[in-house]
Amino acid sequence: MIFHETPLADARVIELEKRGDNRGFFARFFCENEFAEAGLETRFKQINNSLSARTGTLRGMHYQLTPSAEVKVVRCIRGALWDCIIDLREGSPTFGKWHGVELTAENRLAFYVPRGFAHGFVTLTEDTEALYLVSDLYAPDRERGVRWNDPAFGIEWPVEPTEISPKDAAWRDFDPEWHGSAVLAGQK
């Protein structure tokens, strides 16, 4: 695996190192040793799978408060999506900044989302499927979200979201007290 730096502290884009022949290729999506050598999380408790039927489906921007804050490793396994993260770690040099990456079944890139980051994506094709590793169990009482179009962040989505769940549409504007950025201080 090749771990590429991003403009946001501690986030990575992961490129598979393919070993191929006339049959196709083999590559690791996760290797505990390689993740550890790169200083990344190596323990994952869930593997989530989502399917979005329509282009323009938005899922996000989600995260969990400590002690349930999650690391995610997201990969698109069918179709295409634009994956976005926001650094909500108070004291981070990139606090309040966002970064997006196009993940497709063809490019096979993965996005490493550190603890303390809000995460979401919008689909670029119909029938888009994502698979992601998650380092902690879902904790509904610690779930939080940031509205996808919150002016505090000014995310430049590549397509206008057309399918949004009522919960995701109702997330409030960023408020450090409610959103818990102080709780996330110093998380990596």
Q: Strands 163-164 and 57-64, how do they pair?
A: parallel
**Cis-peptide into 67, omega within 30 deg:** yes
Q: CB-side exposure of 118: number of CA atoms within 13 Å? A: 28
CA distance 113 to 83: 10
Apex CA 69: angle with CA 40 and CA 146, to 5°?
115
Segments in 24-170 forming alpha helices (H): 32-37, 166-169
- C-alpha dihedral (180, 139, 10, 159), degrees to nearest 10: -90
Catalytic residue set: 62, 132
CA distance 12 to 145: 21
